[in-house]
Chains A and B, each alone.
Chain A
Amino acid sequence: MEQEGRKLTIQILRFNPQLEGDTPRMVSYEITEAPGMTIFIALNEIREKHDSSVQFDFICRAGICGSCAMIINGTPDLACRTLTSKFKDGQIKLLPLPGFKLIGDLSVDSGTFMRHMNERIEGWIHDIKADEVDFNKLEERMDPDVAEEIYELERCVECGCCISACATKRMKDGFLGAVGFMKLARYALDPRDKRSDSDFYEIVGDDNGVFGCMSLLGCEDYCPKDLPHQTQIAYLRRKMLSVK
Chain B
Amino acid sequence: MKVIYTDSLVIGGGLAGLRVAIASKKRGFDTIVLSLMPAKRSHSAAAQGGMQASLGASVKGDGDDENVHFEDTIKGSDWGADQDVARMFVNTAPKAIRELSSWGVPWSRVRKGDRQVVINAEKVTITEKDEAHGLITARDFGGTKKWRTCYTSDGTGHTMLYAVDNKAIELDIPVHERKEAIALIHDDGACKGAIVRDLVTGELIAYVSKTTTVATGGYGRIYSVSTNAIICEGIGAAIALETGVAPLGNMEAVQFHPTAIVPVGILTTEGCRGDGGLLLDKDGYRFMPDYEPDKKELASRDVVSRRMTEHMRKGKGSPSRYGDHLWLDIRLLGKEHINKNLREVKEICEYFLGIDPVNELIPVRPTQHYSMGGVRTKSNGESPELRGLFSVGEAACWDMHGFNRLGGNSVAETVVAGMIVGEYVADYCENTSVNIETSVLEKFLKKEEDKITELLERETGENVFELKEAMQETMMTNVGIFRNGDDLQTAVDTLKDLLKRSKNICLKNKIRSSNPELVEAIRVPKMIKLAITVAYGALLRTESRGAHSREDFPERNDKEWLKRTLTYWRNESDDLPEVKYEDLDIMKMEMPPASRGYGVDNTIHHPDTEKRVAEVEEILKANPDADRHEIQNLLMPIEIPEKFRGQNERVGRGFK
| A binding-site residues for B, Cβ under 8 Å | 2, 16, 18-19, 35-36, 38, 47-48, 51-55, 57-67, 81, 83, 103-104, 107, 109-112, 114-115, 118-119, 122-125, 127, 130, 133-144, 147-148, 150-151, 154-155, 157-158, 187, 190, 192-193
A53 touches B103 (CB 8 A): no
Pick from B95, B166, B177, B229: contact of A60, CB below 8 A.
Answer: B229
Say whether chain B's binding surface is mostly helix, strand, loop, or mixed: loop
A139 touches B37 (CB 8 A): no
Alpha-carbon distance A3/B66, docked complex (angstroms): 57
Say whether chain A's binding surface is mostly helix, strand, loop, or mixed: loop
A135 touches B109 (CB 8 A): no
Q: In the complex, what's the smallest C-beta–C-beta distance from B156 to chain A, in angstroms?
A: 10
Closest B residue, CB atoms, query A150: B106
Alpha-carbon distance A190/B41, docked complex (angstroms): 24
User: How many residues of B are in contact with the other chain, CB < 8 A?
Assistant: 77
Q: In the complex, what's the smallest C-beta–C-beta distance from A196 to chain B, in angstroms?
A: 17
Alpha-carbon distance A140/B200, docked complex (angstroms): 44
B159 touches A142 (CB 8 A): no
Q: Can you list 17 A-B pairs with a CB-CB distance of less than 8 A?
A: A16-B511, A19-B511, A19-B513, A59-B41, A60-B46, A62-B267, A63-B347, A63-B348, A64-B45, A66-B41, A124-B103, A139-B136, A142-B109, A144-B137, A147-B152, A151-B152, A190-B104
B40 touches A18 (CB 8 A): no
Q: Does residue B624 face the partner (Cβ distance < 8 Å to A)?
A: no
Alpha-carbon distance A61/B162, docked complex (angstroms): 19
Q: In the complex, what's the smallest C-beta–C-beta distance from A63 to chain B, in angstroms?
A: 6
Known A53-B509, A148-B340: A48·B102 in contact at CB below 8 Å = no
Extra A-B contacts (10), CB below 8 Å, given A61-B229, A65-B43, A142-B107: A36-B264, A53-B509, A55-B516, A62-B348, A63-B348, A66-B40, A66-B41, A111-B41, A136-B655, A158-B40
Known A125-B104, A143-B109, A144-B110: A136·B230 in contact at CB below 8 Å = no
Q: In the complex, what's the smallest C-beta–C-beta distance from A206 to chain B, in angstroms?
A: 23
Q: In the complex, what's the smallest C-beta–C-beta distance from A227 to chain B, in angstroms?
A: 13
Q: In the complex, what's the smallest C-beta–C-beta distance from A80 to chain B, in angstroms?
A: 9
Closest A residue, CB atoms, query B170: A124
A62 touches B647 (CB 8 A): no
A57 touches B104 (CB 8 A): no
Q: In the complex, what's the smallest C-beta–C-beta distance from B38 to chain A, in angstroms?
A: 3
B177 touches A112 (CB 8 A): yes
Pick from B38, B108, B137: contact of A111, CB below 8 A.
Answer: B38
B109 touches A47 (CB 8 A): no
Q: Which residues of A are found within 8 Å of B321, using beta-carbon distances?
A: 2, 35
Alpha-carbon distance A81/B648, docked complex (angstroms): 43
Known A48-B465, A65-B46, A155-B158: A115·B108 in contact at CB below 8 Å = no
Closest A residue, CB atoms, query B650: A138
Q: Which residues of B are found within 8 Å of A192, using beta-carbon distances?
A: 101-102, 104
Known A125-B103, A143-B109: A81·B351 in contact at CB below 8 Å = yes
B102 touches A157 (CB 8 A): no
Q: Does residue B434 face the partner (Cβ distance < 8 Å to A)?
A: no
Closest B residue, CB atoms, query A41: B264
A59 touches B231 (CB 8 A): yes
Q: Which residues of A are found within 8 Å of B97, using beta-carbon distances?
A: 139
Alpha-carbon distance A38/B266, docked complex (angstroms): 13
Pick from A48, A110, A124, A147: contact of B38, CB below 8 A.
Answer: A110
Q: Does residue B508 face the partner (Cβ distance < 8 Å to A)?
A: yes
